[in-house]
Amino acid sequence: MEVKVRPLDCWDDFKKYRKKYYENYLEAKDKGGIRWAGSAWAFDPVPHGLGEDVYSLTGEPYGATCAFFQDFSRECLENIERQGVARDLCGYMRNYWGSIVLDKYLLADGTLVEPFPKPDFNFTIHICCSHAKWYHFAAELEGGIPTYAVDISVGPGYMLDDKKIEYVVRQLKDAIPWMEKITGREYNDELLIKAVYAEADAMSTWAKICKLNQAKPAPLEEKSMFSLYVLNLINRGDPEVAKLYYKLYDEVESRVKRGIGALTYEQFRFLTDNPPPWAFLKVYRYLEKEYAAVSLGAIYTFGLGGGWIGMDEKGEKWIWEPAPTPEEAGVEITNRDEALRWTAEYNLRYRASWQHEYSHWIRKQETYQMVKDWKADAMIMHLNRGCELWNMSTLEVRDYLVKNHVPTATYEGNMADPRDFDEARTFNVIDSFMQSLGIEKIS
Amino acid sequence: MGKDVERLPQIKQFREWFEKRHEYAKEWKKKNGGKVIGYYCTYCPEEIFYAAGVLPVRILGSHEPESITRPYLHDMYCPFCHDTLAQGLQGRYDYLDGVMLAQSCLHMRQAYFSFADRVPNIEWSYYMPFPHGVNNPYAVEYTKAEFEKFKASVEEWTGTTITNKELDEAIEVYNKNRELMMKVFELRKAENPPITGLHAMEMVVSSQMVDKREHNEVLESFLEDLKDVEPNRETGTRLMLIGSEDDDRSFLEMIEHGINYPATFVYEENCTGARYFWDLVRPEEDRLMALAKRYVYRVPCPAKDWAVGRLFRRRFDHIEEIIKDYNVQGAIIAQMKFCDPHELDIPSLRKLFEQYNVKHLTLELDITQPIGQFRTRVEAFLEAMGEEDLFF
Amino acid sequence: MTVAGIDVGSKFTKVVILNDSKEILGYSNIRTGIDHHKTVEEAIKEALKKADLTRDDINKYVATGFGKISVPFADSEITQVVAAGKGAYFVWPTARTVIEVGAEESRAVKVGEDGNIKDFALADKCAAGAGSFVDAMVRYLEVPLEEFGRISLEAKESVPMNAQCVIFAESEVVSLLHANYPKPEISRAIHDAIADRVASIARRVGIEDDVLLIGGLANDIGFIDSMKRELGTEVYVPDKIAPELVPALGAAIAEL
C-alpha cells in the first residue's frame, strides 16, 4: 500500500506570499521603503506605523530557510565560526550572522543574491539568552545599526499584572519616537491599530486551524503545517495574512466535515516537540510512508505563532482553546496607548510559546493536554541541541509523559546545524520505537 | 618580618567556610532555629531574606563527575546546572527549607525548577521574573514591584513582618560586607598584591555561604593583618579572570601555583568574584526602591547586558575601567561549556582586550577540568607574553 | 521450527540458533570483517557446526545490528533495542533494566513484567560509554584486555578522571601514568568513567531491579563493579549464555 499526502488547494498562495516577503525586503530601498530586522517574536505591528512601505526580515525563519538549504548553511556556519563564534550557539542566529559576513542573502526558493540587505534598524525582543544579543552582535558586524530590544520576560501569562504589562508597554512606547528619529518618518497610529487587529486575527485563526487537527483522520500533517504557520512569523501585522488563514480554515474545515485526512491512510497519530531538524524533514515523510503515521503538530507548531488561552488562573491545567481577538473580547482599540496595551497583553498572555519558560509544570501540562485533546497515540520528541529555549524542560516532560503512560521516543538533532544530525541513528530510534509498540511497516 | 598570607587565620577561616559550607548551615540552623534558603543567582535580593531572619546560601557545585541529573536535564546545558542539581539530588542540601531564583539564564532556570520539584526537603520555592532589560529605564520600577510581591511572600512563609528597621539592618550588614571586600580588592592594585585569586575566590564564596555579620568580623581583622603581609611569591603576569562561577580550586591553583611562569589574578570579573559584591545599596526613603536600584544597576551578568537604542554593554565599560585601574596584562576567559550569554559576548570582548593590548586566552570549563591540557595552554599563553617583553 | 538470530555489530558478528522449545542448539561469535556478507556466512557456518546442523535445517533467519543490509537473505529484521529486550527477558525474566554496552554504542531498555519494551534510551553523540573506548585505553595501559577488568579490582583508592570527554581522557591516562599512579588505580578510574557515561543513559529509563548487563563489556568484571558502585544497586550478568550473544538470541526469540 502506498500512503500519499493530499495537497492543499491554498498551498500555492502561502508559498507565493512567503516568496514575495523575502523579495520585498530585498527591493525595499528601490522605492524608498523602510527595512527593519528582528526576531519573529518582535512586536511586528509597531514598525507598521511608520508607513505602508515597511518591510521586515525576521531572523528565525530566515535562519530556518538557510538550514533547509544545507550547503549555504554550512558555509555560513563555518565562516562565522572562524570569527570565534561558539558552535553551540543558536543555529538560526549563526546562519544569520554568517549571511552578513558572507554578504549573501538567501531567497525562499534557494536563490542567493549579493549583497546582504542592510536594515535601517533592528527591533527585537528578549526572552531566551540569545535574543537581544543576537541583534546586538549583528549590528556590530554590520558596522553599527541602531538596535532596540524589548524585554518581555515578565513571567507566564496567567500571572500577569498591571505592573508587568506596563513595563513592556513603556518600552514599546519609547520605541516609537526612536524609530521616528532614525527613519525621519512621522508615525501613523491608524496603521498601528490596523496591524494590531490583524495580528490578533492571524494568530487566533491559526489556533482555530490547529484545533481542527483534533479530528480523525487529521486533515493536516505537520510537515505542511511548517510552511503554513510561518506567515505569522514573518508579517502577522499585514491583514493579508489573516485573510490567507481564513481561506485555509475553510479548506481544512471542509476536510473535517467530509472525513478527509491529510494522509490517504492513517494508522498512527503522534505529536512532536521542538522545532524540527530543518535539513532532515524526510523523517516526517518516512513515518508517513513506512508507518502511515501522521504528525499532528507540536507546542512549537501550534504555539510559535498561535494565540491560545493557556494556563488556567490557578496555574494547574493548560487550556488549548484559541485566544479571543479584540472583537471577540469586546474590546475596541482607538488610539496608540490602547493598541500598545492590547498587543503587549495579547502576546504576553496568549502566545503559547512564551509560557513554558517559567516552570517545568507548565510545559508538562501543555504537552500532556495536547496529547489528550489531539488524541495522539504517542510523542516523538526532537531533542534539539540548536535551541536552548525550546529544549528546556524536555527531559522532565519526557519523564512525565512516560509516567502517565504516553509512549515517548526521543532523537537528538539540531534544528539549524545540519552537521549535528545523525540520520542513521534517528531512523533507528523511530524503527525501535514503532517496533516496541507493535506497529508494523506498511510497505 | 612580614606575615605570610597563607598562615593568616582569616584565610584559614574563609577556606573552612568554603569547604564545610553544609556543616556551617546545619550548625546555624541548630543555633538560631531559623530557616535556610538556597539561591541560585546573585540577582537574588538577599537583604529581604536576611531581614526576615532567613540565612541565604548560594547553591554551588562540588566539581565531581555525576550521572544522576542526566534523565532530567539534557547534556547540552551547562556543567554548572548539572553540578548544582546533582548536589540537590544527592541529598547534600537536605537542610534547605527553600530555594529561590531571580531569573537570569535559561540553563540555571531548568536546574532550579528540577531542584525545587525533586529535592524532598524543599517546602518553599520562589521564582522571581527579574528583568533582563537592566539597561532600559523602566526596569527599576518593575523590579521594585516584584520585590514588593516577594517581600510579602517571604513574610507569609516565615510568619514575620519585615519593616524598614529590619531592612535597614540587613542593608547595613550587606553593604558593609561589600565595602570591606572592595577594600580588599583595592589592595590588589598594588605592584605586588598581598593575596592571590584563589584567596579572593575563597573570601567571596565563603561570604555567600555564611551569615555576613560573622564574615564582616573576619574581613575587618583580615584588612588589619593584610597591612603586615609581605608577598612571598612572584606576582608575575597580572591576570584578570572573566567568567561566571569559577570556584574550582584546582583550576585557580594550577594557574597561580602550578606553572613555571609566574602569574597572579588581580581581579575576578565573575559572580564568585567582584560581580557579586561590587556596587552598594544607596539609601533612600523607599527601601525596596533602593534595593531595586542596586540590583538593576550593578555590573550586569552577560545574560542581561544588551542594547536598548544605543550599542553598548555596561559590563564592558566596567571591564575597561578595571584594565586601567588594576594594570591588567592578560585575561583568562573561563567560559562555562555551553554558556550562551558569555559566548555571545566573547568575540566582542576579545576585540576590546585587543584594543587595550591585553592578551587573552579562552578556556572551556566543565564540571571537572582537564588540568593537564589547561596547563599546556596557559603555559604557552604566559610564555608568549613573556617573549614579547623580551623584544620590546 | 529452527531459527537463527544474527547480530551484525561493528566489531563482532554473533549467531544463535534456537529450536521450537527455545533451546540453544549452537552459537558463534567472530570478528566482523570489511565484507559483512562474508562474515555472516562464516558466523552461520560456525554456529551450524556447533549445532551439528546444515543450512537446510534453518527455517528462518532474523537479523539485528546492521540488519538486512548485512543479511540480505534475512526473513525479518528487528532493531537492537527490541533484540536486547527480548533476549534479556528470556535469559533473565526478572530483568527490568537492561543495559547493553556494545563496541560503538550503549543502550538501555526498560522491560515490563510481560516482557514488553516499555521505554528505551540510546547513547547520544558520546563515545565515552562504549567498548571502543576500552580498546583505546587498554593500549595505553599496555595490559591484555582480559586483565584490564581484573586489575581494577585491585585498586586501593578511586582516582577521579577529570576529563569528561574521551579525547581528553586518553591524554589524561598518559598523565596519570607519568605521575606514577599504579595501573590498578588507573584501570579503576577508566572503568568508573565509562560507568558514569553508561549510567547517564540508563538513568533515563529509570533504574529498576533487576539490572542486567549484556553486550561485550559485561564480561569485564571491573566494569560490573564500577556499575554497581555508580548505580548503588546489584548488577547482574546472564549465566545461561555469554552476555554478548543476548541480542542475537533475542532476534531468534522474536520469531518463535
List the single residue in A148, A383, A396 with the smallest CB-CB distance to B308.
Answer: A148
pLDDT (mean) for C250-254: 95
The whole-angstrom separation of Cα A273 and Cα B268 is: 40
Chain B: give the shortest CA distance to residue A341, in Å: 16
Phi/psi at C19 (nearest 5 deg)? -100, 180
Structural domain boundaries enclosing C183: 93-237
Model pTM score = 0.94
Q: Are residues C178 and C70 located together in one domain of the fold?
A: no
List the single residue in C118, C120, C204 with the smallest CB-CB distance to A432.
Answer: C120
Q: Between residues 107 and 136 of chain C, which touch chain A (CB distance below 8 Å)?
A: 116-122, 124-125
Q: Are residues C59 and C115 located together in one domain of the fold?
A: no
Q: Are residues A236 and A97 located together in one domain of the fold?
A: no
Predicted pLDDT at A89: 94
Chain C: give the shortest CA distance to residue B67, in Å: 5
List the single residue in B64, B68, B371 with the smallest CB-CB distance to C203.
Answer: B68
List the single residue in B73, B103, B343 with the smallest CB-CB distance to A89.
Answer: B343
Q: Are residues C103 and C223 located together in one domain of the fold?
A: yes
List the single residue in B70, B75, B370 with the smallest CB-CB distance to C163.
Answer: B370
Q: Are residues C119 and C157 located together in one domain of the fold?
A: yes
Chain B: give the shortest CA distance to residue C204, in Å: 4
Q: Are residues A164 and A287 located together in one domain of the fold?
A: no
Q: Between residues 278 and 317 of chain B, which touch chain A (CB distance below 8 Å)?
A: 302-303, 305-309, 311, 313
Contacts of C52 (CB under 8 A, 6+ apart): C26
Q: A443 lies in a domain?
A: no
DSSP string, B114-160: HHHHH-TT--EEEEE---S-TTSTTHHHHHHHHHHHHHHHHHHHHT-
Q: A289 lies in a domain?
A: yes
**Helix, coil or strand: residue B298:** coil
| CATH assignment of the domain containing C152 | 3.30.420.40
**Inter-chain contact C124–A432, Cβ cutoff 8 Å?**
no
Q: Is A222's pLDDT higher than 50?
A: yes
Residues C170, C139 contacting (CB under 8 angstroms): no
Provide the domain count of chain A: 2
**Inter-chain contact C124–A402, Cβ cutoff 8 Å?**
no
| CATH assignment of the domain containing A414 | 3.40.50.11900
Residues in C closer than 8 angstroms to B367, CB to CB, are 164
The whole-angstrom separation of Cα B58 and Cα B247 is: 12
Phi/psi at C247 (nearest 5 deg)? -65, -40
Residue of chain A nearest B108, judged by CA positions: A392
Predicted pLDDT at A289: 96
Looking at the DSSP assignment, which residues form a beta bridge with residue C110? Answer: C97, C119
Q: Are residues A38 and A174 located together in one domain of the fold?
A: yes
Contacts of A184 (CB under 8 A, 6+ apart): none
Q: Is C240's pLDDT higher than 80?
A: yes
**Touching partners of B (3+ C-beta pairs < 8 Å):** A, C
Residue of chain C nearest B66, judged by CA positions: C196
Residues B330, B239 contacting (CB under 8 angstroms): yes
- B141–A contact, CB cutoff 8 A: yes
Q: A392 lies in a domain?
A: yes
**Inter-chain contact A432–C82, Cβ cutoff 8 Å?**
yes
The whole-angstrom separation of Cα B288 and Cα A300 is: 39
Q: Are residues C187 and C229 located together in one domain of the fold?
A: yes
CB atoms inside a 10 Å sphere around CB B306 = 32
Q: A–C: how many Cβ contacts below 8 A?
A: 33
Provide the pLDDT confidence category of residue C178 given band limits of 50, 70 and 90. confident
Looking at the DSSP assignment, which residues form a beta bridge with residue B239? Answer: B265, B330
List the single residue in A166, A388, A395 with the smallest CB-CB distance to B340.
Answer: A388
Q: A–B: how many Cβ contacts below 8 A?
A: 141
The whole-angstrom separation of Cα B224 and Cα B202 is: 18
Domain end position, chosen among A129, A150, A185: A185
Q: Are residues A87 and A226 located together in one domain of the fold?
A: no
Q: Between residues 10 and 69 of chain B, which touch chain C (CB distance below 8 Å)?
A: 64-68
Domain end position, chosen among A185, A206, A221: A185
Predicted pLDDT at A298: 98
**pLDDT tens, residue by residue, A149-176:** 999 999 999 999 999 999 999 999 999 9
Q: A7 lies in a domain?
A: no
- A383–C contact, CB cutoff 8 A: yes
**pLDDT tens, residue by residue, C22-73:** 999 999 999 999 999 999 999 999 999 999 999 999 999 999 988 778 899 9
- B283–C contact, CB cutoff 8 A: no
**Touching partners of C (3+ C-beta pairs < 8 Å):** A, B
Q: Which of A120, A116, A126 is nearest to A149 (CA)?
A: A126
- B71–A contact, CB cutoff 8 A: yes
**What DSSP character marks residue A11?**
H
Residues A436, C82 contacting (CB under 8 angstroms): yes
Q: Are residues C115 and C61 located together in one domain of the fold?
A: no
**Inter-chain contact A359–B74, Cβ cutoff 8 Å?**
no
Q: Are residues A210 and A151 located together in one domain of the fold?
A: no
List the single residue in C160, C175, C203 with the smallest CB-CB distance to B67.
Answer: C203
Predicted pLDDT at B392: 47
Predicted pLDDT at C125: 62
Domain end position, chosen among A185, A215, A250: A185
Structural domain boundaries enclosing A178: 14-185
Provide the pLDDT confidence category of residue A1 given band limits of 50, 70 and 90. confident
Q: Give 3-state DSSP helix, strand, coil % of chain A, rounded to 5.
A: 50, 15, 35
Residues in B closer than 8 angstroms to C171, CB to CB, are 370, 372-373
- Which of B67, B89, B365 is the best mutation test for C, with the most CBs of C within 10 A? B67
Q: A442 lies in a domain?
A: no
- Residue A303, H or E segment: helix A299-303
Residue of chain C nearest B79, judged by CA positions: C164
Residues in C closer than 8 angstroms to A429, CB to CB, are 122
Q: Are residues C123 and C180 located together in one domain of the fold?
A: yes
**pLDDT tens, residue by residue, C79-94:** 999 999 999 999 999 9
Phi/psi at A149 (nearest 5 deg)? -120, 140
**Helix, coil or strand: residue B383:** helix
Q: Are residues C51 and C133 located together in one domain of the fold?
A: no
Q: Are residues A176 and A216 located together in one domain of the fold?
A: no
Angle between helices B371-390 and B249-257 (to 10 degrees): 30
The whole-angstrom separation of Cα B99 and Cα B37 is: 5
pLDDT (mean) for A61-81: 94
The whole-angstrom separation of Cα A395 and Cα A406 is: 14
Instruction: Report the complex ipTM.
Output: 0.95
Provide the domain count of chain C: 2
**Inter-chain contact C196–B66, Cβ cutoff 8 Å?**
yes
Residues in B closer than 8 angstroms to C193, CB to CB, are 65
| CATH assignment of the domain containing A151 | 3.40.50.11890
Chain B: give the shortest CA distance to residue C234, in Å: 17
Instruction: Identify the segments of chain B with pLDDT beneath 70.
Output: 1, 388-392
Q: Between residues 112 and 151 of chain A, which touch chain C (CB distance below 8 Å)?
A: none
Q: Are residues C84 and C117 located together in one domain of the fold?
A: no
Q: Are residues A201 and A169 located together in one domain of the fold?
A: no
**Helix, coil or strand: residue A324:** coil
Residue of chain A nearest C67, judged by CA positions: A428
Residues in B closer than 8 angstroms to A83, CB to CB, are 347
Residues in C closer than 8 angstroms to B71, CB to CB, are 203-204, 206
Provide the pLDDT confidence category of residue C134 given band limits of 50, 70 and 90. confident
- Residue A397, H or E segment: helix A394-403
Phi/psi at A383 (nearest 5 deg)? -80, 95
Q: Are residues A174 and A204 located together in one domain of the fold?
A: no
Residues in A closer than 8 angstroms to B109, CB to CB, are 357, 392
Residue of chain C nearest A440, judged by CA positions: C78
Q: Are residues C54 and C74 located together in one domain of the fold?
A: yes
Residue of chain C nearest A431, judged by CA positions: C79
CA distances from B338 to B74, B161, B199, B316 (A): 12, 42, 27, 21
Predicted pLDDT at C164: 65
**pLDDT tens, residue by residue, C209-220:** 999 999 999 999
Q: Between residues 133 and 172 of chain C, which touch chain B (CB distance below 8 Å)?
A: 160-165, 168, 171-172
Q: B–C: how many Cβ contacts below 8 A?
A: 47
Residues in C closer than 8 angstroms to A395, CB to CB, are 204
Q: Are residues A353 and A380 located together in one domain of the fold?
A: yes
Predicted pLDDT at B43: 97
CB atoms inside a 10 Å sphere around CB C164 = 20
Q: Are residues A164 and A202 located together in one domain of the fold?
A: no
Q: Are residues C125 and C42 located together in one domain of the fold?
A: no
